[in-house]
């Protein structure tokens, strides 16, 4: 309804104008703006009208991986509870810049707590204008989602991290594979 009123009042202004050609050029430029308004209104009423999008950023989180001499910097080295030499702050890609995504598309991965004494797991969410960032130091932190872990009983404590794309905001959900408990958070 609003788009029709804007378009109609603009048309009337052009018809009643005495500025001739300059108004015609302005009218053509405003048609592009009206197209954006129309698309936004249609999306507001029915988000399924946009069936796919192309990502402007690469999205992911950070992980630790086995440390490899000569590949990773020494300052990123640490040892887990088992004494394994690991590298921190490695970017784990969920979706890359330029990828086409559909409405509600889900991408998931699993995380394992690396410390027996760990009572919670934090999953920071990052974006990057790079298509393939290597480390989170080169990315923008969108936020963090924290999840309480069940007590350590000798078994690995695994959580599933799921990114849901194509909504108006990025949704990240964590699910405990032990208890089934879920938590979700939205990021702009």
pLDDT tens digits, 122-152: 899 999 999 999 999 989 999 999 888 888 8
Q: Which two tokens stand for residue 15?
A: 């018809």
In the chain, where the domains are located: 2-46, 52-61+93-187
pLDDT of residue 184 exceeding 90: yes
Q: What is the pLDDT of residue 8?
A: 60
CB 121 within 8 A of CB 66: no
Q: What is the pLDDT of residue 95?
A: 95
Tell me: the pLDDT tens digits for 72-93?
888 889 998 888 899 999 999 9
pTM of the model: 0.73
pLDDT of residue 20 exceeding 70: no
Q: Which two tokens stand for residue 169?
A: 């905001």
Q: Mean pLDDT in the chain?
A: 83
CATH architecture of the region 52-61+93-187: Sandwich (2.60)
pLDDT of residue 18 exceeding 90: no
Give CA–CA dist 57/97, Å, rounded. Answer: 4
Number of H helices, E strands in the chain: 2, 11
Res. 98 pLDDT band, cuts 50 70 90: very high
Burial class of residue 111, CB neighbours in 10 A (0-12, 13-18, 19+): middle
pLDDT of residue 6 exceeding 70: no
Q: What is the pLDDT of residue 175?
A: 93
pLDDT of residue 172 exceeding 60: yes
Pairing of the two strands 52-54 and 100-102: antiparallel
Helix (H) or strand (E) holding 33: helix 21-45
* 3-state helix vs strand vs coil in the chain, percent to 5: 25, 40, 35
Q: What is the pLDDT of residue 105?
A: 93
Q: What is the pLDDT of residue 24?
A: 55
Q: CB atoms < 10 A from the CB of 159, how many?
A: 23
Give CA–CA dist 140/59, Å, rounded. Answer: 10
Distances (CA, A) of 179 to 111, 135, 182, 184: 15, 31, 9, 16
């Amino acid at each position: 309804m609003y788009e029709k009123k804007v378009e109609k009042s603009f048309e009337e202004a052009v018809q009643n104008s005495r500025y001739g050609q300059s108004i015609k050029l302005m009218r053509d430029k405003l048609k592009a703006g009206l197209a954006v308004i129309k698309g936004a209104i249609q999306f507001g009423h029915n988000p399924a009208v946009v069936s796919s999008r192309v990502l402007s950023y690469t999205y992911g989180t950070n992980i630790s991986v086995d440390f490899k001499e000569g590949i990773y910097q020494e300052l990123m080295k640490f040892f887990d509870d088992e004494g394994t030499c690991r590298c921190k702050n490695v970017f784990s890609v969920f979706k890359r810049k330029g990828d086409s995504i559909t409405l509600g598309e889900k991408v998931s991965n699993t995380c394992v707590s690396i410390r027996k004494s760990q009572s919670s797991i934090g999953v920071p969410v990052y974006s990057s204008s790079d298509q393939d960032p290597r480390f989170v130091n080169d990315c923008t932190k969108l936020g963090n989602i924290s999840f309480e872990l069940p007590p350590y009983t000798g078994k690995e404590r695994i959580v599933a991290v799921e990114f849901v794309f194509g909504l108006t905001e990025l949704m990240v959900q964590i699910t405990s594979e032990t208890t089934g408990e879920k938590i979700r958070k939205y990021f702009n």
